[in-house]
Amino acid sequence: MTSSSLHAGHFRFLHTSDWQLGMPARFLGEESSTRFAEARLAAVEKVFAIAMEQQCQAIVVAGDVFDSNLLRPEVYRRAMNVLERAPVPVFLLPGNHDPFDAASIYREEDFERLSERREDGAPVVVLTDMEPVTVEAVGETSVQVVGAPLMSKKPSTDLVAQTLAHVEENHGPAQAGQIRVLVGHGGVSSFGDSFNVSEISVETASEACSRRVVDYVALGDTHSTQQLNDAGTVWYSGAHEVTDYLQPDGGGESHSGYALVVDITVDPEDAGSPATVEVTEYRTGQWAFLAMEADINSLEDAEDFIDKLRAVENQRHTSVKYALRGTIDLRTSAWLDDRIEELAPGFSALYERSRLMDLHVMPGENELASMDVGGGYMQVAAEELAVKSQDKDTVAADALRLLFRLNTTAVKEA
């Protein structure tokens, strides 16, 4: 440890959440889904490595460690294998995906074993109630972690506010030289237009920090990293690895794949002075999910879209869903289909966003005449498909595109 992380009144820890180990990603396909599952575990190992490199004294995981309380055996056992090698004490909070109910995965004997100090790894403690838990081996500073665990998938109250009230009533504000961190999970009342009783009040959490009931509120649930108050004492860490798509307008999961290293400093002799909190982001994930849109009405537009696909970095760890709008001729359609088919194997997934696709194919002048389909019934069929495609008959348009591509291939091979 550096002197800065050992002096009285200082605590450095890593805040992460929403690992959702065991998360299905069926849209990726079997091969990419397997790699994605492994990446979620690798990102946990990255979290551990950052904690060591930055000399953190603990790790808090603010809910949804697991995607479900019912895991496949291989997912569960591999997660245990990683957790048992934790380099510093780890505090796990049950979230809405893995609540501490009667069937909770945290009731498995492995967690009791991991909670004990071991020679081969640091304790892994599940926060199952609202009582403060003391963090061991943090120099001259007394540090407590307090959990606001979810006992069901849908809580009926603001559990963070409830836990803060419990701590204040039963333990009072933090003493001189003491630091407290509260770990919670759920949506916050400052998001969106609606409010329900289970949403976490950022105002209540902020005020509790100013009164030193706790010094920092580590939240999970939203998968993008976000500071929630001006004082910087209430944060969402975001998921350690991507779980959803970044939308073209910047919405969706816009800033996931990070963990937060948090430094809390308090006056060791003055309990009334608010803590100083500094938060630093560290990259932990390597995957990306992108939603793309484009207006395509010419070959130039199609080339521009393909250029954007080619420019995507780290394609083997990137899933792209796309929505195209416009009207193009048969040659442009065939060229676009060929390029997408060529690029698709390089991505973890590359597929149409069917609900939003609005790309129509209308044969250009002389395109039907140039097709060598043998005349007769085939020519009549091609002309009928062309008429139907103009009426936005997607089945007819797909058939005409296929006929054109097959014809073009046959001519090339002749």
Distance CA 94, CA 104 (A): 9
Instruction: State residue 378's pLDDT score.
Output: 52
In tens, the pLDDT along 104-135 reads 999 999 999 999 866 667 899 999 999 999 99
Distance CA 134, CA 136 (A): 6
Q: Which two tokens stand for residue 374?
A: 């043998």
Return the closest-CA partner of residue 287 out of 319, 260, 309: 319
Domain boundaries, the chain: 10-283, 288-413
Q: What strands lie across the sheet with 142-147, from one edge to the other?
A: 133-135, 142-147, 178-185, 216-220, 234-236, 226-227
Percent of the chain with pLDDT over 90: 70
In tens, the pLDDT along 226-270 reads 999 999 999 999 999 999 999 998 888 999 999 999 999 999 888
Distance CA 22, CA 349 (A): 19
Q: How many angstroms separate the first and last alpha carbons of the chain?
A: 74
> What is the model's pTM?
0.86
pLDDT > 50? residue 411: no
Instruction: State residue 383's pLDDT score.
Output: 56
- Give the helix/strand (H/E) hosting 216: strand 216-220
Token pair 């790309």 is found at 359
Instruction: State residue 367's pLDDT score.
Output: 54
In tens, the pLDDT along 323-352 reads 999 988 888 988 999 999 999 999 999 999
Cα-Cα-Cα-Cα torsion 35, 36, 42, 47, nearest 10 degrees, comes to: 170
Q: Which two tokens stand for residue 11?
A: 């605590």
Q: Which two tokens stand for residue 210?
A: 């100013």
Q: Domain 10-283 belongs to what architecture?
A: 4-Layer Sandwich (3.60)
C-alpha distances out from residue 181 to 205, 215, 218, 300, 412, Å:
11, 6, 7, 55, 69
Return the closest-CA partner of residue 94 out of 46, 123, 62, 120: 62
pLDDT > 50? residue 176: yes
384-398 as b/e: b if 16+ CB within 10 A: ebbebbeeeeeebbe
Average model confidence (pLDDT) across the chain: 88
Cα-Cα-Cα-Cα torsion 311, 39, 30, 242, nearest 10 degrees, comes to: -60
